[in-house]
Chain A
Amino acid sequence: MIEFNRVTKTYHGVRALDEVSFSVRPGTVTGFLGPNGAGKSTALRVLAGLARPTSGSATVLGRPYTELERPGFDVGTLLDAGAHHPGRTGREVLTLGALLLGLPRSRVEEVLELVGLTVKESRRVVGGYSLGMRQRLGIGHALLGRPRALLLDEPANGLDPQGIQWMRTLLRGLAGEGCAVLLSSHLLYEVEQVADHIVMIGRGRVLADGTVAELGAGRGLERTFLDLTAEADRSLA
């Protein structure tokens, strides 16, 4: 469903992504795990057609994102929960998306309910939202077109424990319906909670790719993660 094929991205001579290859299968939640600055956001932006790879290719449903006719129905994206006009209401943000996709207004109500924003909250401007509420709104926006794949960049940031629990249930449910979910995080704990598959990235390179059970075998997931990222740092230092 989602494929990275030897994606390299260079910014001013610095390799933000170095031959990144992995795939996300339908019906799975894949955690994209790495320390800050590892290249997670860059990879997701390349996948969403917002940045061009220097070489290699990233595809969704077998095509580059920019060649999807109406990507809103194929891939839901949440790339920056803070990226909203502060003077727009949450409801309006969803309404604009629904209008663009040609969805009925009732879809806005459904999505609000799905992400747990009340009618009252939806009528407030986003400038007054907490980060957790913005994440819920962003996830709702991504889900408007009932997409078959989801890209979420640090969706758990700012969510309280109940929020993380909620997100876990939601994403597991979507994966259960066949959705391919890719979510990035720098916190192992969050990824462990939701993902069944983990891709670890450090210094722009894929360090490990496997199921939670596989990567956790022996040393344990946290030890594996810390050892691998430290190794990546050393090899480039």
Chain B
Amino acid sequence: MSTPQTLARQVPFRRLVWVETRKLFDTRSGLVMTGILVAAAVALVVGRAATVGPPRLFTLAGTAAVALGVLLPVLGIITVTGEWSHRTALTTFALEPRRARVLAAKCLPALAAAVLGSLLAVLVAVPATALSASVLHVEPTWEVAPRALAGWIVVMVLQTAQGLALGLLLLNAPAAIVVCLAGPMLWSFVAAAGDGGQAVAEWLDLNRTTGVLMSGELTGDGVARLVTSVLVWVVIPMATGVARVVRSDLH
């Protein structure tokens, strides 16, 4: 059989992505997870609008980050670890033995959810801002710096990618969730432990290093810190995890 035919007969990548996307929503736990994510984001935006004035669109939308920053990485972790907790990897890899393609197809919908979740927060913030302004009889602030908005979405994507990377590395949802969520707390301890700790946190704490994306002040030093922390928390664990999954024997 010739090579072009071989390529044509492979399961198309978009079909793999579609199937993996469907797997996110075709179980009760998946639906509950999505429901909580949307509800929490909306509730935070609306809650902030109801309690704090005068309203600024970007501040209201940004409030959703509290929920998205926790739930999106968890969604990513569950997506990539699910096949191991339910041993369905046997079935999945029997239908598509090129395992790296399957893993890539699993990561894409989670990353897309990060973008969509951020956009949803902005969308909900629009009526929330208008309503809050009319109730408080103040002028709302509609201006949003495009760079800040883009930076904010990139931060959400990076946090989700961290969840995916840790999930792939550990292949165990509870362990990956603990590492992912305990991170910010641990970094505050590290940063509090003298100048050395402070310096380490400035280079490795994703929450700090991604700050430059939001502020839009991408200086050389800031970029170096950002790249370092993304390498350590996203690129290296993901590459290690993928390599292990591709090579390992399934039981």
Which residues of A line the B interface, CB within 8 A? Answer: 45, 48-52, 65-66, 68-72, 75, 77, 79-80, 82-88, 92, 96-97, 99-102, 125, 141
Contact = CB atoms under 8 A, between A and B. Distances in A.
A49 B95 contact: no
Interface stretch (B10-18, B141-149, B207-215): B10-18
Contacts of A75: 94
Interface stretch (B60-68, B84-92, B170-178, B197-205): B84-92
Contact of B91 (A45, A52, A99, A141): A141
B97 A51 contact: no
B94 A87 contact: no
Contact of B95 (A71, A82, A84, A85): A71
Closest 4 CB pairs of A and B: A87-B27, A51-B249, A83-B87, A69-B9
A100 B250 contact: no
Contacts of B93: 49-50
A187 B82 CA distance: 32
Nearest to A50: B250
B154 to A, nearest CB: 31
16 contacts: A45-B251, A50-B250, A51-B249, A65-B97, A71-B94, A71-B97, A72-B94, A85-B27, A88-B26, A96-B19, A96-B26, A99-B15, A99-B18, A99-B22, A100-B96, A101-B95
A77 B26 contact: no
Nearest to A79: B90
Contact of B88 (A71, A84, A92, A125): A84
A162 B94 CA distance: 29
Contacts of B27: 85, 87-88, 125
Contacts of B91: 77, 79, 83-84, 97, 141
Interface in B31-58: none
B18 A72 contact: no
Contacts, number: 83
Nearest to B27: A87
Interface residues of B, number: 30
Interface of B: 6, 9-11, 15-16, 18-19, 22-23, 26-30, 82, 86-88, 90-91, 93-98, 249-251
Contacts of B250: 45, 50-51
Given A85-B27, A101-B11, A49 B87 contact: no
A183 B125 CA distance: 59
Nearest to B247: A52
A70 B10 contact: yes
A51 B89 CA distance: 12
Contacts of A66: 97-98
Contacts of A85: 27, 82, 86, 88
A77 B94 contact: yes
Contacts of B249: 45, 50-52
B86 A83 contact: yes
A69 B6 contact: yes
Contacts of B97: 49, 65-66, 68, 71
A99 B249 CA distance: 26
A212 B10 CA distance: 39
B95 A72 contact: yes
B245 to A, nearest CB: 12
Nearest to B87: A83
Contacts of A88: 26-27
B96 to A, nearest CB: 7
A79 B9 CA distance: 24
B100 to A, nearest CB: 12
A223 B217 CA distance: 81
Looking at A66, A72, A79, A87, the one whose CB has the most chain B CB atoms below 10 A away is A87
Nearest to B82: A85
A48 B94 contact: yes
A71 B97 CA distance: 8
